[in-house]
Structure formats: C-alpha cells, structure tokens
C-alpha cells in the first residue's frame, strides 16, 4: 500500500448537547476539508461524506451516538486524528 492508498479509522462518541447539528457539522466539514483525504462518517447503517454538511446532518447523530470516522488518502491518519479530537472536544461547545 503506498501513501496515496493509506487508510485510517476510529470511533468517536458525540459529546456536545446538541449533537451533530448545523454549527457542529460546519466545523467538521471545515476541519475535514483541510486534508488530502476522502472522509466518510458512519452511524449504524448510514454513511455520509465527511466534507458534506448536509450529509453529516442527515445522520441525525445526537449526544451519546457513536460514529465511525474513516479516511483514505495521503493525509488519512492526520484527518482521522483531527476529526476525532474535534468530536472528543464536543466541537468546542457546551457539553
């Protein structure tokens, strides 16, 4: 596997009170868009493009929901780490 094919994933629990709402989704997309990686977020049997605000909101991920962040590409590991940290920190919102 070369660097262009690198993949990474991790789970994260939504911790902010309002869940993955518009502001949180916008922060996620802004963060994801900084990386050269394809990002997917999975909840149960649903998946969304991690760079699509509407797709993320359609997951209806509320507080306590565990999501799977997956990324592939040259910056996959860095993307997953940064996005996981963003979720772990509650998107900088009240928890």
Please give the tally of structural domains in the chain: 1
3-state class of 64 per DSSP?
coil
Domain hosting residue 61, numbered range: 3-92
Identify the CATH number of the domain in which residue 12 sits: 3.30.1340.10
Task: Give mean pLDDT, residues 65-79.
Answer: 98
pLDDT tens for residues 14-34?
A: 999 999 999 999 999 999 999
Backbone angles phi, psi at 85, to 5 degrees: -65, -40
Give pLDDT, residue 4. 58
C-alpha of 94 from chain center: 18
Give the residue numbers annotated as catalytic, written as ranges.
21
Question: Do 14 and 83 meet the contact criterion of CB atoms below 8 Å apart?
Answer: no
pLDDT at residue 7 is higher than 80: yes
Band of residue 93 on the pLDDT scale cut at 50, 70, 90: confident
Distance linking the first and last C-alpha atoms of the chain: 39
pLDDT tens for residues 48-63?
A: 999 999 999 999 999 9
- Nearest-10 Cα torsion for 56, 6, 76, 34: -100
């Amino acid at each position: 596997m070369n660097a262009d094919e690198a993949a990474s994933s991790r789970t994260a629990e939504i911790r902010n009170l309002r869940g993955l709402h518009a502001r949180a989704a916008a922060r996620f997309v802004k963060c994801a868009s900084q990386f050269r990686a394809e990002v997917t977020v999975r909840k149960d049997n649903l998946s969304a493009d991690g760079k699509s605000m509407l797709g993320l909101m359609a997951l209806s991920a509320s507080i306590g929901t565990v999501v799977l962040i997956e990324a592939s590409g040259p910056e996959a590991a860095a993307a997953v780490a940064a996005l996981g940290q963003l979720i772990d920190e509650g998107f900088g919102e009240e928890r």
